[in-house]
Amino acid sequence: MRSFAGRDILSLKDFERNEFFRVFEVAAELEPIARNRRNVDLLREKTLVTAFYQPSTRTRLAHEAAMLRLGGAVTGFADAKMTRAGDFYQESIKDTVKMLEFYGDVIVMRHFQIGAPHEAAQWASIPVINGGDGWGEHPTQILTDLYTVLREKGTIDGLRWVAVGDMRMRTMHSLGYALTQFDCPITFVAPPGMEMPDSYKEDFMAMGLDFDFADHVGDVIGDADVILVEPTVQPDYSKSRDERKGELPTTPDNYKITKDLLVNKAKSDAILLHSLPRMDEIPPDVDITRWSRYWQEAFNGVVMRMALLALVLGAME
C-alpha cells in the first residue's frame, strides 16, 4: 500500500480498496478520543492551515476540531474576502499557497473552482486536503459517509445504495469513485437538468461501477440498504458565495425522503445519510426515525478528519 505520509487527499478516483480500509482502521483506533471528548498530543507539534474560499460549517470546523483533539494548532481563513485573494489583488492560488506552506504543516482547502486544491498541491511542499472544489469532489465527506456505513452496518460490500439529489454535486462524484472499490450497486435519482455529468458516467463505467438511474425515489427506495440524500434546491457551487434571492422552490416528491415514504417503502434496517446542510428534502420529523444516521455522520466527520490528519502528517502509518 502507498504511504499516506505527506500525501495530498484530492480525489477518491485514485483511492485503492486497501487504502479505504486502512483509513477506516485508523479512524476506529482514534474514535474513542473523540467519543470521550478528550484531547491528546499525537499532533502536538503540527499546525493545520484552513483556506476556505467558500462558506462551510462542517468541513472546516470538523477539520479544526480533529486537529485540536489530536493536540495540534489551527490557523487560516474562513472568508477569502479578508485575504488578498479576495480583495483588489485577487492573489493567485500559487502565491497564496506559497505563503500558507510556511504557516503550517497541512492545508485543507475549499474553493469554488474545480481543481483549485489540485493546483494548490502542485505548489505546496506540505499535504493539501480537498475540502470541496466547486462542482468537483468532496473526498473527506464521502470517506466520512463510508465509515458511517461500516460502523452502522458492519460492512460496506454487499449493500445496495440509492443516491438522491443534484448529481452535479461534488459528494456524488466522490461517492461514485469510492463505490468502484466495493461490491455496491447504486441507483442515482436526480431531477432533469441535474443529471450525473457524462465525464463522471464515463469514469464510473470504465472503473466498473454497477450503476443505473431512476426518476422517483419511491420506485427504488425499497431495495436500498443505504439512502444518501443531497439537496436539489441549492446554491451555485461554482460561485464563492451565492446569496438566497426571492422565493425558493420546494423539493418535488420524487427527490424527497418523508417519514411516510420510509415507513411504507424502506427496508426496516436501511440507513439514511445526508451530509447537510439540508433544505426541505428531509423534513425534521425524520430525524428521530430509526433510519436517520446524519448525526452519527456528523460525529464521524470529526473522527475521519482525525484519521486523515494523523495519516498525512505521518503520526500513523
State how far the Cα of 101 lies from the Cα of 125, in Å rounded to an integer. 7
Q: Which is nearer to ligand CP, 223 or 242 (CB)?
A: 242
* Element containing residue 189 per DSSP (H, E): strand 186-189
Does the footprint of ligand CP cover residue 187 (CB under 6 A)? no
CA triple 68-73-74, angle to 5 deg: 90
Q: Which is nearer to ligand CP, 232 or 275 (CB)?
A: 275
Regarding 275 and contact with ligand CP (CB under 6 A), the answer is: yes
141 contributes a contact to ligand CP by CB under 6 A: yes
**Least spacing, CB of residue 52 vs ligand CP, in Å:** 9
174 sits near ligand CP (criterion: CB under 6 A)? no
Q: Which is nearer to ligand CP, 138 or 256 (CB)?
A: 138
The number of CA neighbours under 13 Å toward the Cβ of 280 is: 8
Distance between CA atoms of 4 and 135, rounded to whole angstroms? 26
Q: Which of 50, 56, 174, 251 lies at the binding interface for ligand CP (CB under 6 A)?
A: 56
- Of 272, 271, 136, nearest to 200 by C-alpha is 136
Angle subtended by helix axes 170-179 and 139-153, to nearest 10: 50
Query: Cβ closer to ligand CP: 204 or 237?
Result: 237
Question: How many residues lie near ligand CP (CB under 6 A)?
Answer: 8
59 makes contact with ligand CP (CB under 6 A): yes
ω before 277 within 30° of 0 (cis)?
yes
Amino acid in position 155 = T
Q: Does 132 help bind ligand CP (rule: CB under 6 A)?
A: yes
Nearest distance, CB of residue 230 and ligand CP, angstroms: 9
Site string for ligand CP, 229-268 (x = CB under 6 A): ----------------------------------------
Phi then psi dihedrals of residue 212, to 5 deg: -145, -175
Cell 445526508: give the residue: 274
148 binds ligand CP (CB under 6 A): no
Rounded to whole angstroms, how far apart are CA atoms 274 and 255? 13
- Residues forming contacts to ligand CP in the complex (CB under 6 A) are 56-59, 132, 141, 275-276
